[in-house]
Amino acid sequence: GESVGLHLPTLSVQEGDNSIINCAYSNSASDYFIWYKQESGKGPQFIIDIRSNMDKRQGQRVTVLLNKTVKHLSLQIAATQPGDSAVYFCAERSTDTGNQFYFGTGTSLTVIP
Amino acid sequence: DGGITQSPKYLFRKEGQNVTLSCEQNLNHDAMYWYRQDPGQGLRLIYYSQIVNDFQKGDIAEGYSVSREKKESFPLTVTSAQKNPTAFYLCASSLGRILSYNSPLHFGNGTRLTVT
């Protein structure tokens, strides 16, 4: 899984399978979390967000789960497609750091056709 | 289409020269940000602005300067004082704290700066 400051992990999945990308955070004052997708040479693209008063949020083919007890965030992608291949990273906003966002290093997802 | 435009996409400069990266948004967002992205690292905040004519330093502001004279524009100058300027620079915007507390960042497609 991903965590702020670690090397970029990789994940390979077969097309059609589900993908789970993990993110650990350390600041208990973080109250808002976002998942981004970044393709090579492009800027990050918003996927889904979740507030700290929620445990789960669903979008189109994506689900974000938040476990505040262990400070863990995950992104689930259903029926992964080749177009999902990209780097995914989480961002957290903390109330004790001027409400700024801090970003993980990302996980590189490769979908095998 | 509403969005954030960064230009140019690629920029090459000689060491010792200042260079300005452009960022324009037509999303009517109050807040704008500059991040730097290096391989294997998360995005790091350089400067941000919550409102016109006001901006604050981020975590790695040394060697950079910004201005926010218009709501739509937030140019970043990489000065010769920046020791390792070669990087991928990303501009972002958001509604801002006043309008929407939980407002995600929207990013441009970046400028890759190479200094030799």
Average pLDDT over residues B14-26: 95
Q: Which of B35, B41, B33 is nearest to A106 (CA)?
A: B41
Q: Which of A35, A37, A79 is nearest to A57 (CA)?
A: A35
> Which chain B residues touch A41 with a CB distance below 8 Å?
109-110, 112
Average pLDDT over residues A25-52: 93
Q: Rounded to whole angstroms, how far apart are CA atoms A23 and B76?
A: 30
A60 to chain B, minimum CA–CA distance in Å? 18
Record: contact B105-A41, CB cut-off 8 A? no
B80 to chain A, minimum CA–CA distance in Å? 25
Output the pLDDT for position B2. 67
Output the pLDDT for position A1. 38
Residue A5 has pLDDT above 80, yes or no: no
> Which chain B residues touch A36 with a CB distance below 8 Å?
107
Record: contact B42-A104, CB cut-off 8 A? yes
Output the pLDDT for position A7. 54
Average pLDDT over residues B26-39: 93
Please answer whether residues B106 and A46 qualify as being in contact, where contact means their C-beta atoms are separated by less than 8 angstroms.
yes
Residue B54 has pLDDT above 90, yes or no: yes
